Amino acid sequence: MTTVDSTDLIKLGHAFAEIMSSHDVSRLDEIKAPHYVNHNAFAEPGLEGSKKVLGAIIAGVPDLKVTAEDVFVSADGSRVVGRYRYEGTHTGNLLGYPATGKPFLMRSIDIWRVEGGRFVEHWDELNTLDVFIQIGAVPPPRQP
């Protein structure tokens, strides 16, 4: 049986935020396996698809800062779960929406399956509707 160092896995979850904030998507190779599977509707398959979507987000939000608010490891050491805060200003095309110059805040919850010290599979819940409301791409819900 292989022993998993939860400290290293927690560092992996924090490295995701650091890489996103550094805007260097090539560094994703440090934390994601070549056969990476991303279950996110915005991302094309594989590690290269992940790099492409993250690069597009950074292009739309060049001042993007990502903060890891919580990072946990599953009891069996096969999963890393993170709660992240994304902040930035929408100054470029963001997922098809032209720049508005408006700031936004978004939170996500990400779950990664880990093998060999790298992320191999990913699921997330993104609060994109809130982002689209903040940048004016979608009207806010009517108040009762």
Question: pLDDT: is 137 or 84 the higher one?
Answer: 84
Of 141, 53, 139, nearest in space to 94 by CA: 53
Domains contained in the chain, number: 1
Is residue 1 over pLDDT 70?
A: no
What is the residue-averaged pLDDT of the chain? 92
For 22, the token pair is 């550094």
Three-class secondary structure of residue 43 per DSSP: coil
- Quote the tokens at residue 138: 């979608």
The answer to whether position 93 is within a domain reads no
Give the percent of the chain with pLDDT over 70. Answer: 97
- CA 31, CA 25: separation in Å to the nearest integer? 11
Range of the domain at 14: 6-84+109-123
**Residue 55 lies inside a defined structural domain of this protein:** yes
Question: Does 98 have pLDDT greater than 60?
Answer: yes
Query: 128 in a domain, yes or no?
Result: no
Task: Answer whether residue 142 is part of any domain.
Answer: no
Give domain status of residue 52, yes or no. yes
Indicate if the pLDDT at residue 35 is higher than 80.
Answer: yes
Q: Is the pLDDT of residue 4 over 70?
A: no
DSSP string, 95-109: TTBPP---EEEEEEE
Is residue 70 domain-resident? Answer: yes
Which CATH number characterizes residue 22's domain? 3.10.450.50
For the record, the structure tokens of 76 come out as 């069996």
